[in-house]
Amino acid sequence: MAKPILANKKICFVGAGAMAEAILRGVIDKGIAHADHVFVVNRHNQNRLQELRRTYGVQIHSDKKVQERFIADADIVLLAMKPKDVEEALGQIKASVHKPQLIISVIAGLSIQSMLQYLESDLAIARTMPNTSSTIGLGATGISFSAQVTEDQRSMTMAIFEAIGIAEVVEEPLLEVVTGVSGSGPAYVYYFIEQLVEAAVEGGLSLETAKKLAVQTVLGAASMVQETGEEPAVLRKKVTSPNGTTQAALEKMDELGFPNAVKQAVHRSSERARELGALMEIRPKEKG
């Protein structure tokens, strides 16, 4: 059942890609917003919009003027385009957005300051870093708010992201760390599963059995951390018999630099988010 806080609010997604779909599906499936109140606009791809309408019942239109009205009439405008498209997209919507709308961004690296500059207005902004697991209600989102965001708008933002997973409010510079951990994180886990499966197949298991065992192992291990409340290191030790198989495997992982590889990957993702943010900054000389 829809939470009253969002029941009559209109949300317009600008950008109809993977992340927009993850959020809109989660929000509609969880009943946090009704599909009649969810609008989606995209750059060119009408087929993509049709597909979203067929699947989720969201509101779409091919006419640019109607799309502009979708944006202008929304209570919440959710920005979900790639960093490379930010300049063009924000230039296009600048005339349609206005106070007291809430702008929610999921764009990696794009600072609140840059958004305010692009939109040339003192708007309420929630900068977020979700992940694709939001699709099934298991997302992990970091959120920072601009000074203009009201209590009601904070509550709406939290309601959206808590409907599709967990949400943590952090200081804005820490959103880059969130990006490295949970924004990009699902890909590291999929990569890990891919290697488990490959090794299992190399060992002789069928692909089907390998996938089943690998996925259940990752699911079971994550659930153990969550449900027992024990530290991962403690749980790891319970698997690791002295001089047993797990110890031998972990020694191999240490020898090949697994801990360092994971940590460096997280730091590199955060660093890349900062680089993308810098590329999207409006430099003083570029201002009209």
Ligand X SMILES: O=C(O)[C@@H]1CCC=N1
Q: Which amino acid is located at 68 in the chain?
A: E
* CA 15/CA 153 separation, integer angstroms: 21
Contact residue for ligand NAI among 11, 16, 58, 77 (CB under 6 A): 16
Alpha-carbon radius of gyration of the chain: 21
Q: Cα-flanking dihedrals φ and ψ of residue 166, to 5°?
A: -105, 155
**Count of CB atoms within 10 A of residue 22's CB?**
22
**CA distance linking residue 284 with residue 80, whole number of Å:** 25
Distance CA 197, CA 203 (A): 10
For ligand X, what does the binding mask look like between residues 76 and 115, x meaning CB under 6 A?
A: --------------------------------x-------
Q: Is 42 in the site for ligand NAI (CB under 6 A)?
A: yes
Q: Is 11 helix (H, G, I), strand (E, B) or coil?
A: strand
- Strand segments (E) across 3-146: 11-14, 38-41, 76-79, 102-105, 124-129, 139-145
Whichever of 84 and 99 has its CB closer to ligand X, that residue is 84
**Which stretch, 38-46, 52-60, 177-185, 188-196, contacts ligand X (CB under 6 A)?**
177-185
Is 184 among the residues that bind ligand X (CB under 6 A)?
A: yes
Which span sits near ligand NAI by CB under 6 A: 84-92, 111-119, 165-173, 193-201?
A: 84-92
Region 132-191 residues binding ligand NAI, contact defined as CB under 6 A? 132, 183
Structure tokens at 109: 């690296």
Count of all residues that appear for the chain in the document: 288
> Is 133 a binder of ligand X (CB under 6 A)?
no
Q: Which does residue 18 bind out of ligand NAI, ligand X, none, counting CB within 5 to 8 angstroms by kind?
A: ligand NAI
Of 165 and 183, nearer to ligand X (C-beta) is 183
Q: Which of 43, 64, 99, 237 binds ligand NAI (CB under 6 A)?
A: 43
DSSP secondary structure letter of residue 242: T
**Contact between 59 and ligand X per CB under 6 A:** no
Burial class of residue 44 in the structure, from the number of CB atoms within 10 Å of its CB (0-12 exposed, 13-18 middle, 19+ buried): exposed
Query: Residues binding ligand NAI: what is the number (CB under 6 A)?
Result: 27
> Any contact of residue 200 with ligand X (CB under 6 A)?
no
| Interface residue with ligand X, options 114, 179, 197, 266 (CB under 6 A) | 179
Residues of this chain that bind ligand X (CB under 6 A): 108, 179, 183-184
Q: Summarize as ranges the residues that interact with ligand NAI (CB under 6 A).
A: 14-20, 41-43, 45, 80-83, 85, 88-89, 92, 106-108, 129-132, 183
